[in-house]
A and B are shown apart, each in its own frame.
Chain A
Amino acid sequence: MSLMLICDDLMNVNWIQILLNSAVTGSLYLIGAVGLTVTYGLSGFPNFAHAEFLTLGAFIGFWIAEDIGAPLPVAFIVAFLITGIISVLCYRFIFQPLAKKGASTIHLMVASIALGFIIRYSIGAVWSWTPMYFSIKWPSYIVGSVRIAGQWSLLIVVALVLAFSMHLILIKTRIGKAIRASSSNPDLALASGINVGRIILITWFAGAGLAAVAGIFRAVNTQIWPLTGWDIILPIFAVVVLGGIGNYYGAIAAAFIIGLAENVGVVFLTSIGLSTEYRMAIAFIIIVITLIVKPQGLAMLFRRG
């Protein structure tokens, strides 16, 4: 395809809709990545089982909403709580003892991969590997040249509420200040009388709870099966790395940058006749470039975090 034709293609693209789609993708990644980046920053290792927290949350939500028939908000809350508790138990009884015995980052990481496998295959054994689908039908709205489905607007609203409330918690509350203190200097925080252990447990709880919310959104938008979380863990890690590990504000910016990169990437890939499966490569390329050029990610832009 000639360059002229490609340019022609790009002229026809509804860029406003692409921006909206990017916001949808970015919102999902943000909700999924917040817990990962904060626990990574505090506990010092990448928790690969985070993918399974997404999956587990999605399945619990599915169970509540579809099998029991409770309204969706209830499903979100119950999934948040149960996944959060399971995450705390995992930290308390697997990662904390390992860390106390002097396990290195690599040890902890491998343990988290193992934990992920266990959860993933347990989910497969309990719920089966056949993909399932939420039966909720969402209305769609047309605003100007843009079309927006009900679940997307909900997703974006949840992400925005999350972003603002996290901001307020981090800045205004004692616990938020404690999280920031523990994250930037655990020893000093401990010496200042902050119960770092408790802070870590709280972040594991809330982080996994948010992962569960992201998992339900992903399942509502696509399908639910034991790899629901694993399917998007790569871009979520890209968000964590690009945003700067442990940096909440960096993660917000990174989530939307990666959402945009993927959606614009699809436009380009299609224009040049390539398969859109390469869009996953976009997340990879962003991770690699960030690690080479600026390992601290966007963190430098958000000193305060």
Chain B
Amino acid sequence: MTRKILLVLLIAVLLLPATIACSETTPTETAPIKIGVNLSLTGDLGAMGVKMLDAARLAVKEINAAGGVLGRQLVLVEESDNTDPAKGLERTKKMIDVDGIQAMVGPMITGTANSSGPYAAENNVVMVTPSATAADLSNQDWKPYLYRICLLDDLQAEVLANVVMEKGYQRLATIVQDNTYGKGLEAALVSSLEVKGWTGEHVVAVHFDSVKKDYLSELQQIKDANPDVVFAVTYADDGIIVFKQALDLGLDSIAWLGCDGNYGSGLFADAQSAEFMAKAFVAGTRTVGGIGDVTAKFNANFEKEYGYAPEVYCDTTYDCVYAIAKAIQAAGAYDGAKIQAAMAGLKWEGASGPISFNAKGDRDSGSFELWKVEKDANGNYANVRVSVVNV
């Protein structure tokens, strides 16, 4: 046994100079580079997370096929936080302490970003999130170690503010989920309007419980405030009820604005909700990723590899892997601190559109789609693209 091990070691030592000679960048090791993945593959967001993992695997496969990074292959250490911040920190610690990762795709959810952030920063491990969009992450002292490929809500709000300005609305009402997502978008829209010198008035702000599922009184509040535009931040399940009850109250005579949360066919499960959105929605926003060749190639390869079209945040997850690969290449070593420094200077066209970072490590460029809801000849409802806006 000892002899066998010695033999293997001897071969390894003999081969080492050969690999160094082959590579221009003279890596000190040839072992694969282990990149962490901390997504919600199980739990509430599990269905979304496993698709995002597919996107990460696709990126790794492509990079490896093209020769890897610094002459080394990439491998993913795949962990799930079970959509639970405490579990997320545990998985982050495991990947740092046991697997020795220097960079990680994720966390997927804001909660795990918050729980894992301090530990990652302490160990100089770079996290690149595809989907943690909460604004207040930017103010954390460990933030230098979290880069974000996802577009933040204030960019989305800027697009919506432009719509309000262009259409000349003067009385804005908001009906938003009572959580960081809803209130964050509301605040971002209002402050963006202020910055743009809007002269109108924010007449009523309704913050509702997305679990209550009955919003008649809330909508009555909107009606009584007599707005000319209403901005709604909902998900599908609560949105359906908001919109069907809005139709009952006759609120379709007012212009409505939506966001990424109320995009999708889920909202059309109720005929009244669909009818309302088709009648009342002037525009909604959502990130569209890129519209160029990289995106087209990503979509085609993804579907070929997995047999289904990429869904929400698949493109950003794919770009996370590329961000890490590019930063390792630029840093010349698989070293967290060097990767962190190199990341700031990256700029490229990803599957999710043009990518670059601001001073806080948040993505500062991207494309948004303005969408509407339309009924086709067969009586089916669908989201229709109005235009794509770059910010």
A binding-site residues for B, Cβ under 8 Å: 9, 12-14, 17-18, 21, 24-25, 131-135, 137-138, 140, 142, 147, 149, 151-152, 221-223, 231, 262-263, 266-267, 270, 273-277, 279-280
B234-255 interface mask toward A, CB cutoff 8 Å, 1 = contact, 0 = none? 0001001100110111100000
The 10 closest A-B pairs by CB, nearest first: A277-B209, A133-B270, A275-B178, A266-B217, A149-B248, A275-B207, A263-B217, A13-B224, A222-B213, A270-B221
Bound-complex Cα distance A182 to B225 (A):
51
Residues in B with CB closer than 8 Å to A21 are 216-217, 220
Given contacts A137-B271, A142-B250, A275-B208, contact A221 B220 (CB under 8 A): no
Contacts of B212 in A (CB 8 A): 231, 276-277, 279-280
Q: Is the CB of B209 within 8 A of A140?
A: no
Q: Judging by beta carbons under 8 Å apart, are A135 and B218 in contact?
A: no
State whether B213 touches A276 (Cβ < 8 A).
no
A223 to B271 CA separation, bound complex (whole angstroms): 12
User: What residues on B are CB-neighbors of A137 within 8 Å?
Assistant: 271-272, 275
With A and B bound together, what is the CA distance between A21 and B214 in angstroms? 12
Q: Would B240 and A223 count as touching, CB distance under 8 A?
A: yes
The reply to whether A262 and B217 form a contact with Cβ atoms under 8 Å apart is yes
Residues of the B chain whose Cβ atoms lie less than 8 Å from the Cβ of A231: 211-214
Q: Given A9-B204, A270-B204, A270-B205, A147 and B218 touching (CB < 8 A)?
A: no
Q: Which residues of B contact A273 (CB under 8 A)?
A: 205, 207
B76 lies within 8 A of chain A by Cβ: no
Point out the residues of chain B lying under 8 angstroms from A266, CB to CB: 217-218, 220-221
Q: How far is the CB of B238 from chain A (nearest CB, A)?
A: 9
Given contacts A17-B220, A223-B237, A270-B218, whether A277 and B178 have CB atoms under 8 Å apart is yes
CB of A223 within 8 A of CB of B248, answer: no
A222/B205 in contact, CB under 8 A: no
Alpha-carbon separation in the docked complex, A142 to B249 (Å): 9
User: Which residues from A are CB-within-8-Å of B206?
Assistant: 270, 276
How close is B266's CB to chain A, nearest CB, in angstroms? 10
Whether the Cβ atoms of A222 and B217 lie closer than 8 Å is no
B221 and A132 form a contact (CB under 8 A): no
Residue on B nearest A132 in the bound complex, by CB? B269
Interface residues in B185-221 (C-beta closer than 8 Å to A): 204-209, 211-218, 220-221
CA distance A17 to B221 in the complex (A): 10
Name the distance in Å between A26's Cβ and chain B's nearest Cβ.
12
CB distance from A3 to the nearest CB of B (A): 17
B339 CB to nearest chain A CB (Å): 41
How far, in whole Å, are A54 and B245 apart by their CA atoms in the complex?
21
Residues of B that sit less than 8 Å from A by CB:
178, 204-209, 211-218, 220-221, 223-226, 237, 240-241, 244-245, 247-250, 269-273, 275
Q: List 5 A-B contacts (CB under 8 A).
A: A223-B237, A263-B216, A270-B221, A273-B205, A276-B212
- Contact yes or no, B248 A140, CB < 8 A: yes
Do B250 and A140 have beta carbons less than 8 Å apart? Answer: yes
- Residue from B214, B215, B275 whose CB has the most chain A CB atoms within 10 Å: B214
A270 to B224 CA separation, bound complex (whole angstroms): 12
13 other A-B residue contacts (CB within 8 Å) besides A263-B217, A277-B209: A14-B223, A133-B269, A133-B271, A135-B270, A137-B275, A147-B250, A149-B248, A223-B237, A231-B211, A263-B220, A270-B205, A270-B206, A276-B178
Shortest CB-to-CB span from A136 to chain B, Å, is: 8
Q: A131 and B237: CB pair below 8 A?
A: yes
Contacts of B224 in A (CB 8 A): 12-14, 17
Q: Closest B residue to A13 by CB, please name it.
A: B224
Q: Inside 8 A of B272's CB, which chain A residues have their CB?
A: 137-138
Q: Which residue of B lies closest to A134 (CB)?
A: B270
Task: List the A side residues contacting B208 at CB < 8 Å.
Answer: 275-277
Q: Which residue of B lies closest to A131 (CB)?
A: B237
Whether the Cβ atoms of B218 and A276 lie closer than 8 Å is yes
Closest Cβ–Cβ distance, residue A133 to chain B (whole Å): 4
Contact of A18 among B217, B237, B269 (CB under 8 A): B217
Q: Which residues of chain B are within 8 angstroms of A221 by Cβ–Cβ distance?
A: 214, 216, 245
Query: A5 to chain B: closest CB distance in Å?
Result: 11
Please give, as numbers and ranges, the residues of chain B lying within 8 Å of A279 by CB-CB distance: 212, 217
Alpha-carbon distance between A18 and B213 when the two chains are bound, in angstroms? 18
A14 with B271: CB separation less than 8 A? no
Report the minimal beta-carbon distance from A203 to chain B, rounded to whole angstroms: 28
Instruction: List, in ascending order, chain B residues with CB within 8 A of A135's CB.
Output: 270-271
| Least distance between B215 CB and chain A CB atoms (Å) | 8
Q: Is the CB of A223 within 8 A of B241?
A: yes
**Please, which residues of chain B bring their CB within 8 A of the CB of A276?**
178, 206-209, 212, 215, 217-218
Q: Tell me how far the C-beta of B16 lies from the nearest C-beta in chain A, rounded to whole angstroms.
A: 57
User: Is the beta-carbon distance between A222 and B241 smaller than 8 angstroms?
Assistant: yes
Residues of A within 8 A of B215 (CB): 276
Query: With a CB–CB cut-off of 8 A, which chain A residues contact B273?
Result: 133
> Chain A's nearest CB lies how many Å from the CB of B380?
14
Q: How far in angstroms is the closest Cβ of chain A from B54?
A: 23
A231 to B272, CA, bound (A): 22
User: Are A18 and B216 in touch, CB under 8 angstroms?
Assistant: no
Contact residues in A for B271 (Cβ distance below 8 Å):
133, 135, 137
B247 contacts across to A, CB distance below 8 A: 140
